[in-house]
Amino acid sequence: MGNKKSFGEKLEKFFAGKGFYIVLILCVAVIGVSAYFLFSGRRADVEEVSGTENEIGEVAVPQNEDPEMVLPPETEQELNSEEASEQDESLEEATKTEETGSWTKKDAETAAAAQFIWPLEGEIDMPYSVTALIYNKKLGDWRTHDGVDISAPLGTQVLAVSAGQVESVTTDDMGGTTVIIQHAGGLKSIYSNLAEVPTVYAGDNVMTGEVIGAVGATAPGETKENPHLIFKMTLDGQSVNPSDYLPPR
């Protein structure tokens, strides 16, 4: 019994020899394995969280591919109805304008592009002169003259010198029966000493060369003279020389 060693003595001898190193290696191995699993678990958690963030970041936000606003069918029908109504009103207004003979923008553009003609053929008895006095053989005096007297037999047709709208048809003690036509750009042509009954009325639209009346003898102060047309033109109410607009003779 004396030769037998106790368990404590054997254990002490084991640790005093190679056993100490064996235990140390085992401890290091356990610590290493524990650290491996610990860091592996944390990495998995990080990757899982990162993956979740990526999934959230990649969520598609719906965008309107068509920049134009899409209207409900009812609203679109209402807008189409309004546009159709506006077109009908414009057409109705244009029809009224044509029926009443008012001077439209299109008429003005047409008149501006038209060429002028002389109101009739004939000799010029009295030329235009507002800056210098000219001698009137029939009246025997010197005076200015803001128009052109064109001699022609009674009843000779008088033509509109350009397209326009008849502004007025009047009879007065100076010029007798007179027709005034309004042209584009503030220009007017005035035809006096016409026959008593012209062929146009106020508000009529006339084209270049259209007959508006005939040479008469209705101007009281010029009944003793040869039959002639008294022709004048104004621009914005100011007298202008008809020769500046009419073609050379």
Q: What is the mean pLDDT of each run of 10 residues along the chain (249 residues)?
A: 58 64 76 72 55 48 50 56 58 43 54 77 87 69 82 96 96 92 96 95 96 93 78 94 89
The confidence score (pLDDT) of residue 100 equals: 39
Q: Which fold has domain 113-244?
A: Glucose Permease (Domain IIA) (2.70.70)
The confidence score (pLDDT) of residue 26 equals: 78
The confidence score (pLDDT) of residue 91 equals: 46
For the chain, state the CA radius of gyration. 55
The confidence score (pLDDT) of residue 48 equals: 56
Query: What is the rounded distance in angstroms from the CA atom of residue 105 to the CA atom of residue 204?
Result: 16
The confidence score (pLDDT) of residue 236 equals: 94
The confidence score (pLDDT) of residue 198 equals: 94
The confidence score (pLDDT) of residue 22 equals: 75
The confidence score (pLDDT) of residue 99 equals: 40
- Regarding pTM above 0.85, the answer is no
Enumerate the domain spans of the chain: 7-57, 73-100, 113-244
The confidence score (pLDDT) of residue 31 equals: 82
Can you read off the two tokens belonging to residue 47? Answer: 């990757």
The confidence score (pLDDT) of residue 30 equals: 76
The confidence score (pLDDT) of residue 70 equals: 54
